Chain A
Amino acid sequence: MSEHTTLSDLEAAIDNTFATDAQQASVDVVEPGIVTAVETLSMQQALNRALAEVLEENPKALVLGEDVGLLGGVFRITDGLQKQFGEDRVFDTPLAESGILGMSVGLAMAGYHPIPEVQFDGFAYPAINQIVCQVGRMNYRSRGTMPMPITLRVPSFGGIRAPEHHGESLESLFAHVPGLKVVSPSSPNEAYHLLKHAATRPDPVIFMEPKSRYWQKGPVDTSADGYSPEGSRIVREGKHLTLVAWGAMVARCLQVAELAAEDGIDVEVLDLRWLKPIDAEGLAASVAKTRRAVVVHEAPLTSGLGAEVAALITERCFGTLRAPVERVTGFDVPYPSGDLEDEYVPNIDRILFGIQRVLENRRG
């Protein structure tokens, strides 16, 4: 590492490590004074650390859900928290997601900050009524007197060869609901900081964790020096086009960018982070420079968040865009079985084809 190594350089280095395969990352200790308090953690460890700190700092914070107690969650995100904070603060609920969310609403009304877990994305469907009509509306219905500081953690997206409804991407559903905010981290450092940020907000935040990235390690700068949880972030600068992604697709887009660079294509990668509110100005700033954009997501194409991203870019950059915004997404099919998921989730080839289309398109 050079003496001017920054956190994003480290992240890029580690993501590239995983681009070539599952070799464990090891990050050299960075020179003092350049990056402080950096540790190498998996996203699972970073989330666990963030939850422990939130529970420590806010006595009203509670963790609840299925198997989050003694077991530590099926992904071990809540590992050890019940032992550390007791059964009042970290507790198992019966297996009913509407119950978990409805109970969280009541706890919030009583002054608590519930951090419920819905064990897998698809398990949020039984809770949709409570999420839409209660979590998203109680602040409104009560004219601001009953805020809903609920941080709903949802292990999300595909890529782990899981059974049906364990690999879904619900961001469009959530983002369409007034009163909710939606965020998805793409790296251990982002996971740590965004969860700490979300879990201290007075509004409900749906926290979509890319479950396929739980075990990838990366540097986490717990000092938060210079870290901003707001808006999007550029994870790789480039001149020719902007790849817009979130969650697990960010790492994939970084891989694609490296491959494209071999052909002389300079790709900028923008990690959207917040799926509601979307950082329209950040998108516009990047695309104003590159004049081309490809948005990549795992969710189905039709009415996917890519459409919203394309609209926001078009509204702001119509005059300078060199081509229509391209979308590389999942298909309008139920999320397939593990044998087919590599065909469904945008892979490197499909993203490269998207780049080709946006580069070949010529106006006039």
Chain B
Amino acid sequence: MSDVLALDLSAQPDLSAEDLKQLYRLMVAVRHLDESAIRWQRQGLIPGYAPELGQEAAQVGSGYALDMARDFVFPTYREMGVARTVGVDMVEYMSTHKASWHGGLYDPQAARFAPIQAVVAGSVLHAVGWAHGQTLSGTPAGELGVAITYFGDGASSQGDVHEAMNFAAVMKAPVVFFIQNNGFAISVPTERQVAGGSVAARAAGYAMPSLQVDGNDVVAVHQATAAALAHARSGNGPAIVEAMTYRRGPHSTSDDPGRYRTLAEERADGGEDPLARMRSRLLAEGLAGEDFFTEALEAAQAEEERIRNGVGALGSRPGTEMFDFVYQEPTHALKAQARAWREESEHV
């Protein structure tokens, strides 16, 4: 772990035994749902999925540090683990992969979780705007809502990320830039993507603190995120957390990693499985026994079954919704198109 400008990690209280067990339960639930979703795709239940195998610690650890009464999450399309951790309805979340609705069917304002974002780096600037809105709202320093924006090593090459970091630092906006550096942007490895090898290192140029953290250690991720959140919440401006992790699966269910990396490389580079690591820790510290792990897996399986049934029961959205949500005040021309669509589709 290396910090460029200091974030106060020591101020973060140690997690309780129950917190540690809950982090494990969440990671198991996310792992099981993630692996199941690939099967759903192979079985034809959903047309596609972007797995996050190997990134459970980064997503659960960071999500668990959020205060969802006042913070707000800006995800990409691979943050299922964060969504699950902060309590987004998972049938409504997975509906994006069912091709029901791009942004997901959940209410993003109520969930405090922005619509799923397919545009790489598209939502990073939104976090800055939302966060600046918290500053403008007159909320006192120390109680500010923080925007956390998730993106990857690939997205870090986008100009919007640089603009967002600069805007946030200039305006001292309460933003946490959370990078999951998972080694690959589809096929292109980090060394061909990120000059210098670290997105966190860029923080120095923007005069903001950053932490590069072992992204497969859920507790370390949690503590780093909590420190970054505390920094932003106190009105000190933005911070960067870069979780170094590994995308153990394909980019998506349409991807073939065999074209750009070997199984031997995956085993060598993937590092220790975040779940196995947490399991060892819980056992070593005497916080959990086999019963606990069995119960956690059974709960995850029951949860996946509920979500699978819910996703399976999702019908197509009514076609009128293509038209209904374009504007708050729809134009005459769009209403005419909707009428024509209805008339012509009823003849089919």
Task: Show the binding face of A for B, using Cβ within 8 Å.
Answer: 62, 88, 93-94, 96, 98-99, 101-112, 114, 126, 129-130, 133-134, 138-147, 178-179, 181, 201-203, 276-278, 280
B125 x A106 contact (CB < 8 A): yes
B131 and A106 contact, CB distance less than 8 A: yes
Known: A102-B125, A103-B129. A179 touches B164 (CB 8 A): no
**Chain B minimum-CB-distance residue to A279:** B332
Residue B124 interfacial (CB < 8 Å): yes
Residue in A107, A109, A112 whose Cβ sees the most chain B Cβ within 10 Å:
A109
Is B326 in contact with chain A by the CB < 8 A criterion? yes
Q: How far, in Å, is B142 (CB) from chain A's closest CB?
A: 19
Quick one: CB contact mask for B108-141 with A, threshold 8 Å, 1 for yes?
A: 1110001100010011111111111110110000
Q: How many angstroms between the C-alpha atoms of A125 and B16 in the bound complex?
A: 51
A126 to B163, CA, bound (A): 12
CB of B139 to closest CB in A, whole Å: 11
Q: How far is the CA of A142 from the CA of B101 in the complex (A)?
A: 9
Q: Are A276 and B147 closer than 8 Å at their CB atoms?
A: no
| B126 A106 Cβ-Cβ under 8 A | yes
Minimum Cβ distance to chain A for residue B340 (Å)? 13
A96 to B262, CA, bound (A): 41
Closest CB in chain A relative to B173 CB, distance in Å: 9
Which residues in B have their C-beta under 8 angstroms from that of A134? 119, 122-123, 126
State how many angstroms separate the Cβ of A179 from the closest Cβ of chain B. Answer: 5
A178 to B338, CA, bound (A): 14
One digit per residue, 1 when the CB lies within 8 angstroms of any chain A CB and 0 when it does not, for chain B 165-190 equals 01100100000000000000000000
| Chain B residue with Cβ nearest A143 | B325
Given A138-B115, A139-B325, check contact A94 B167 (CB 8 Å).
yes
Residues in A with CB closer than 8 Å to B166 are 94, 96, 99
- A106-B129 in contact (CB<8A): yes
**Residue of A138, A139, A201 contacting most chain B CB atoms (<10 Å):** A138
For A142, the chain B residues whose CB sits under 8 A away are: 103, 108-109, 114-115, 325
Query: B160 near A: Cβ within 8 Å?
Result: yes
B residues near A94, Cβ cutoff 8 Å: 163, 166-167, 170
Q: Give the number of A-B contacts (CB < 8 Å).
A: 138
B109, B128, B129, B321: the one within 8 Å of A146 (CB)? B109
**Bound: A142/B321 CA distance, A:** 12
Q: How far, in whole Å, are A106 and B108 apart by their CA atoms in the complex?
A: 13
24 interchain pairs (CB within 8 A)?
A96-B167, A99-B125, A103-B129, A103-B132, A103-B167, A105-B125, A106-B127, A106-B133, A107-B130, A109-B126, A109-B130, A110-B129, A110-B133, A139-B325, A140-B325, A141-B102, A141-B115, A142-B103, A142-B109, A143-B103, A144-B324, A202-B328, A202-B329, A203-B328
A243 to chain B, nearest CB (A): 23
Distance in angstroms between the alpha carbons of A130 and B125 in the assembled complex: 9
One of A62, A93, A140 near B326 (C-beta < 8 A) = A140
- Chain B positions within 8 Å of A, measured between CB atoms, are 101-103, 105, 107-110, 114-115, 119, 122-134, 136-137, 147, 159-160, 163-164, 166-167, 170, 321, 324-329, 331-334
Q: Which residues of chain A are within 8 angstroms of B324 by Cβ–Cβ distance?
A: 144
Q: Kindly provide the distance from the CB of A93 to the nearest chain B CB, expressed in whole angstroms.
A: 7
For B101, list chain A residues within 8 Å (CB). 143
Chain A's closest residue to B167 (CB) is A99
Q: Which residues of A contact B103 (CB under 8 A)?
A: 141-143
- Taking a contact as CB atoms closer than 8 A, the residue among B110, B127, B128, B326 that contacts A139 in the complex is B326
B331 lies within 8 A of A102 (CB): no
Known contacts A99-B167, A102-B163, A142-B103: A111-B326 contact under CB 8 Å: no
* With A99-B160, A99-B167, A181-B331: A143-B129 Cβ-Cβ less than 8 Å: no
Contacting pair A280 B129 (CB below 8 A): no
Closest to A147 in B: B328
A102 touches B126 (CB 8 A): yes
From residue A242, how far is it (CB to closest CB) to chain B in Å? Answer: 20
Q: Min CB distance, B183 to chain A, in Å?
A: 26
Q: A106-B147, A142-B108, A277-B333 are in contact. Are A93 and B167 (CB under 8 A)?
A: yes
Minimum CB–CB distance for A116 against chain B, Å: 10
Q: How long is the Cα–Cα vector from A272 to B17 in the complex, in angstroms? A: 68
In the complex, the answer to whether A105 meets B126 with C-beta atoms within 8 Å is yes
Give the distance to chain B from A196, nearest Cβ to Cβ, in Å: 16
Q: A179-B326, A202-B329 are in contact. Are A96 and B163 (CB under 8 A)?
A: yes
> B301 → chain A, closest Cβ, in Å?
31
CA distance A111 to B110 in the complex (A): 13
A99 to chain B, nearest CB (A): 4
Could you say which residues of chain A place their CB within 8 Å of the CB of B122? 102, 129-130, 133-134
Bound Cα distance from A182 to B346, whole angstroms: 33
- Residues of B contacting A114 in the complex (Cβ-Cβ under 8 angstroms): 129
For the complex of A and B, 7 pairs with smallest distance between CB atoms: A106-B129, A102-B125, A110-B133, A99-B163, A141-B103, A277-B331, A103-B129
